[in-house]
Structure formats: C-alpha cells, structure tokens
Structure 1
C-alpha cells in the first residue's frame, strides 16, 4: 500500500480521489486592484486611445475634423520630421551602447577591492540625482566655443576645440555624451547589483583553477550578469528614444535641425499650432518605441532563459 493510500485509509477515505472542493473566494483581491486599474485607465489608456483618434483629425482645442491618415502622410513628407526620427534612432543607439559598456566597466571596477570604493560609487551615481535641465544649462556654458571651460582647457595644451553645440557635425553627439555622463551612474548601479548577486564560489573556483581576471570577466561576470545587462539595455533604449529635455535645454534642436529628435520636433509642431500633425508624431514615436523594445526584450529574455 502506498503512503497516500495508507493516509487515506487512516482517515476512513476511499481509494478514489474525492471531488475537488470549491473554495469560496473572497472578493477582496478584485476590489483591491480596482483603484489602481482605474487610475491606470484614466491616466494611460484613455489618453493613449484619444491620441490615436486625434492623430487622424485636424483639431484645435474647440473643434476637430476627421481627415484619415493625412497627418501621417504629411509627417513623412516633411524632411525635418523624417530627419528627427533618424536622429532619434542614432541618439538612442549611441547613448544606450555607451551606458552599457561604461556602466559594466565601472561596475567591475567598483566591485573590486579598491580604496575609496564607497565614495567612488557615490561620485558616479551623483549626476543621476541632478536636474536634467540644470545639467543641460551647465554643459551649455562649459561647451561654449569661445568662453567655455572645455575649449579653454584644450587651448591651454595647444588644441583648437570645436563648436560642440554650434557645429552641425558635433551638436547631436555632444548632447549624447552629456546624456551618457548623466545616466551612466544608474547603469552602473544596476550592474553592481547584478555582479554582487553572483555567488562568490564561482570566483573562488576560478582562482583555484588559475583563471585570470579577464577570463573570470568573460566566463563568469558577463553570463551571470545578463539580467542586469538586459535591464540596462531596455531602460537606456527607452530613455534615448524618448529623450527631449536635455536636447531642448542645450540646443533646442539646433543648429538648424541637426540635433532635432522626434520629441523636439513634436513640441515645435505643437508650438506652431499643428496639433493633429504633432499628435501623429506622438503616435509614431509610441509605435517606434514599441516596435523596438518589445521584440528586443523578448529576444534578450529568451536568450537569458536558454542560459
């Protein structure tokens, strides 16, 4: 007689499994989620569906006329709008790539046995706490081509500094570098959390086997810190694709349209009174972010499970 049968015989039950009793579920969990669902619906779902509708109209505050996909057609006919979309992709790729690489290297450094490790962690993370507009205004002064501290420092060693924010070839990348300086601290913090969660037994076994620090990095840190890497990649890409405040504070999309991203173009269209066109731009931005992030997250998560 099996253990289960013996227990059932002891309690005077038959060998057949009884019908599963239906438990009366309390309505409390459902009611508990209702306020959050209501807030989410009012603040996110309703504006999202409303923006999809108004992107198909020519509207003002008091009136709207349905015009179909004309706003989207006009969006892709405008060179400034298309270039803004291109700049957005370039900006997102540059900032997210640098944050991942620099954040991982800094995290490896700041989890090693170095002097002042806690202080250095604070220094790296400090820019994250500073206002984005404040950072933008500060670096606008520092990057002034004539009186900025950066070019004056370069001139002291005989190097002619470029017009960081006034030269069309440098403006977008200059803002991207400032974005990396401000955001790499958060990436570093996430990587630190991922690295310190790795069991020390792996590193001890690697040292016993005579593995070098480089081998431990590629064989232990990189594979086991993959969840942190996925998080940093996704957050950095989303931030880069939606970036607006830093660019607006430093260049306002200039010189010309050379540092315009789609968010700044949308804002300019709102300022000019083209509400339907700017709403269509918002929808396009939403679709671009969704089309990039969801497949990437699925791909990276699937690879993570396979590991």
Structure 2
C-alpha cells in the first residue's frame, strides 16, 4: 500500500516541479521585486515606495474605472450571448452548422490580429462599419477616437472574440441535462420558453458560473486587445490597469510596474474569490 502511494506521489513530482518553476517562483519573486528599484543587473530595497508611486499615477482612477466597466460589461454579454448561441446550437435548427462556424471562428484568430482587423473596420471615414451605416443614412461615430466611446468599442470586439469559448462551455452544460426533464415538462403542457427558464438556466448553473469566473478574470487582466487597437488612447480614455502597468515598463520603471502587477493580482483575487464562493453556494445539483 505504501509503495503504491509513493508511486502515485512520484508521478506528481514532474508536474509539481514545472508548476513551482513557472508559477510559484515567479510569483514569489514578483512580490519581492515590487519592494525594490531594480534593473537587469542590480536591485535596491525601497520598501513601499513603489506602491505609493503607483497609487499616485495620474491615470490610475481612469484605469480602475475602465477596467471595471470593461470586465463586467464583457462578462455579462458573454454570458447572455453565449447562452443564447448554445441553446440555438443544441436545438434542431437547420442552420446551426453555419451559426456554429461563425461563432467558433473568432476563437481561432489571435487577439492581436483581431485588434488590427477591427482597428481598420472601425476607422471613422474609411472603415467598413461606418461605410455600411452610411448606406442607411446613418453617420457612424468615431468608434476608437471618441473618448466616451472607445472603451465600449473595445468591449464589443472582446465579446466577439471570446463568446465562442463561452458558447462551448454552455453547450457542454446543456448537453449534460437529462432529456427526461424536458420530456416531463412537455407532457405537463409547458412551452419552450418555460423550459428554458425553469430547466435549462437552473441546471446549467455550473456552466454559467464557469463562464462568469473565466470571463471576469480575463476582463480584469485584458491588455493585448487594448494595446493593439487604441494603446490606451485617445489620451488615457481607454487605459486599463494592465496597459498602465505596461507603459511603466516601457518607461523603465521596472520596480513600479512590478508593484502594479502585484496590485492587479490582489485586485483580481479580492474580486473573483468572493464571487466564486457566492456562485458555488447557488449551484443546482441534478
């Protein structure tokens, strides 16, 4: 029995070493270097000075505001749209194969490529989007150049890019629901709308929770799409916390930007873990 246990633990050693090397060690070192002024060859301990400087950043309030707007907006849209697509793709609709290919395609394209493509499509005068609106007599807005609209334009693109993953998770959740529930509901005279609200939604709760958590973490940490499309502009109007941190790296403030990463890590943990606990208490068992 002891030999079997030792053998089982031995199989975990390679994965444990990789996890420690690629996650635990960098995490610990990030916390350490956040209290220093460092470069590639030297470091100096400065205590909490980096954290003080980070919170004095002029664009920080805008970054926090945009990050929360972006994260919660994209999460809500991915849940609603992803669940709608999942219901369609698990139905008997004849065109579901075409819809499936349209929904899943964006997940195969890199985020940078998506950002570049939509930057062209959303050009205020030459972009296909505004040219299409012009055919109907609508004067399209400056999607990425309007400070009041830029963050919402980015959110729309992020939802287009990520809703396919949410749909896959929802399809798995819906397919795991026993058909007996729907058959019994139909025998009792229920319609499809009632079946959706009283069977599909409650019994897909684990999938909904997974999408909420994954989408929320991704939204709070988003960087590449924003940098590819707006670079945080115009001005600081579409800056997120991650893009502010990257600008500090660019300016050579390595210790300051490391402190920003630690703050971002703690912020994500403090937001996601309570939501995770709350959602798990509400799960419905089949």
Task: Tell me, yes or no, if structure 1 residue 205 matches structure 2 residue 173.
Answer: no
Task: After the TM superposition, list the runs of 4 or more consecutive aligned residues in structure 1 that deviate by more than 4 angstroms.
Answer: none
Corresponding position of 2:2: 24
Q: Quick one: distance in 1 between partners of 2:107 and 2:85?
A: 15
Q: How does 1:45-84 map to 2 (within 5 A)?
A: 45-84=24-63
More relative contact order, 1 or 2 (CA 8 Å, 6+ apart): 2
**1:178 has 2:157 as partner:** yes
2:246 match? 267
When the two chains are superposed, the root-mean-square deviation of aligned CA atoms in Å is 1.3
Residue 115 of structure 1 corresponds to 94
Partner residue of 2:275 out of 285, 293, 296: 296
* Inter-partner Cα distance in structure 2 for 1:297 and 1:128: 25
CA deviation map 1:40-80 (0-9, x unaligned): 11111111011101111111212211111111111111121
In the alignment, is residue 234 of structure 1 matched against residue 202 of structure 2?
no
Cα distance in 1, alignment partners of residues 183 and 58 from structure 2 = 58
Aligned to 1:19: none
Q: Would the alpha carbon gap of residues 119 and 306 (structure 1) be closer, same or farther in structure 2, given more than 3 Å must change?
A: closer
Q: Structure 2: how far apart are the matches of 1:31 and 1:298?
A: 32
Indicate the SS of the match to 1:79: coil
Gaps of 5+ in 1: 1-22
2:35–2:49 Cα contact (<8 Å) kept: yes
- Alignment match of 1:100 (pick from 53, 74, 79): 79
Cα shift at 1:86: 2.1
- The structure with the larger Rg is 1
Gaps of 5+ in 2: none
Structure-2-length-normalised TM-score? 0.96
SS of the counterpart of 1:58?
A: strand
Q: Tell me which residue corresponds to 1:258.
A: 237
Q: How high is the TM-score relative to the length of structure 1?
A: 0.90
- What's the offset of the Cα at 1:186? 0.9
Retained in 2: the 8 A contact 1:55–1:283?
yes
